Amino acid sequence: MRLVIGKPLGFCFGVKRAIDKLEAALKDYGKVYALGSPIHNEEEVKRLISLGLELVEAVEELPQSSVVFIRAHGTTPEILEKAREKGCTIIDGTCPSVKNAQEKARLLSQEGYEVIVVGDPKHPEVQSIKGCTAGRASVVSSSKDVTDFPSKDKIGVVSQTTQEEGTLLSIVSVLLRKARELRAYNTICKATLHRQETVRKLAAETEGIIVIGGRNSTNTAKLVEVGKREGSDVLWIAKPDEIDKSWLENKHIIGIAAGASTPDWLINDVINSLSSR
């Protein structure tokens, strides 16, 4: 069996930056609260909890004057304000690419555009972007969602950073006929595009791809989708013991890809486990 390791692989710059900030805060303060899971990877979350991280779901659960970590997906201005009112020290791990999408949405809203966010309405990053428009933006996931969208003078579009470019393009092309003025920002981050491109290459060069990443990671799910669309036999695993023996049978060249929230130590564990076979 030969392994072809995709590049880039694992932590993107935004997640690495956020985790570095969180680890430094854990060292300085001992106890840090995170609003929601700080990273979409359960194994990495377990490691951070062992260092003193505590997860809370809502700002109301934060103790007075505690230290709170904002994950790479960012949060809404409203939640930030509530944390400040509680006297919390804020460690802001919001990825600069997410900040860019938030700022573009805020700008469009302030300039009177009907704002459309392309993404998953339940995803925390999308909620943080929508929050920057005082909740006025509409969230859509496919061109079908905008087919019946009413015509407007000014429509502005931004995207969740982990979307596929094709989805954004198809939505923008439908909206083009619905606005006198359309302003669209491609806020998909390069780290996402590069990882999707890696999977396309692996699909062409290998007999199957193992994608490593958390089940709750959108960018990992997109890699799986891209691989399958390219006709590859894709196995999605969250940890080494999920490698399915029957999937490996009769495969001689296997590609390895990983989501932007998959830590290096976990990728190495998977590679070591495969090498030892």
* 3-state SS track over 165-199: HHHHHHHHHHHCCCEEEEEECCCCCHHHHHHHHHH
Catalytic residue among 81, 125, 165, 242: 125
User: 6: Cβ–Cβ under 8 A, 6 or more apart, which residues?
Assistant: 195, 198, 199, 201, 202, 255, 256, 257, 258
User: 96: Cβ–Cβ under 8 A, 6 or more apart, which residues?
Assistant: 14
- When asked if residue 219 is in the footprint of ligand SF4 (CB under 6 A), the reply is yes
- Binding to ligand SF4 (CB under 6 A) within 140-169 occurs at 161-162
70, 191, 202, 267: which one binds ligand SF4 (CB under 6 A): 191
Site string for ligand SF4, 63-82 (x = CB under 6 A): ---------x----------
Nearer to ligand SF4, 161 or 167 (CB): 161
Q: What is the spatial distance between Cα 183 and Cα 108, in angstroms, rounded to a whole number?
A: 8
Q: Which residue's entry shows tokens 């094709």?
A: 166
The dihedral over CA atoms of 54, 59, 60, 63, expressed in degrees to the nearest 10, equals 50
Tell me the β-bridge partners of 236. 211
- When asked if residue 258 is in the footprint of ligand SF4 (CB under 6 A), the reply is no
Per the annotation, the verdict on 61 as an active-site residue is: no
Site string for ligand SF4, 192-211 (x = CB under 6 A): x-------------------
- When asked if residue 13 is in the footprint of ligand SF4 (CB under 6 A), the reply is yes
The first and second tokens of residue 14, run together, are 């935004």
- Binding to ligand SF4 (CB under 6 A) within 108-137 occurs at none
| Least CB distance to ligand SF4 at residue 258 (A) | 12
Q: Considering only 9-17, 30-38, 51-59, 269-277, which stretch makes contact with ligand SF4 by CB under 6 A?
A: 9-17
Q: Considering only 36-44, 92-100, 105-113, 206-214, which stretch makes contact with ligand SF4 by CB under 6 A?
A: 92-100
- DSSP assignment letter at 123: S
Q: Which one, of 229, 236, 276, 230, lies nearest residue 256 by Cα?
A: 236
Q: How many residues bind ligand SF4 (CB under 6 A)?
A: 15
Interaction site with ligand SF4 (CB under 6 A) = 12-15, 72, 95, 97-98, 161-162, 189, 191-192, 219, 260
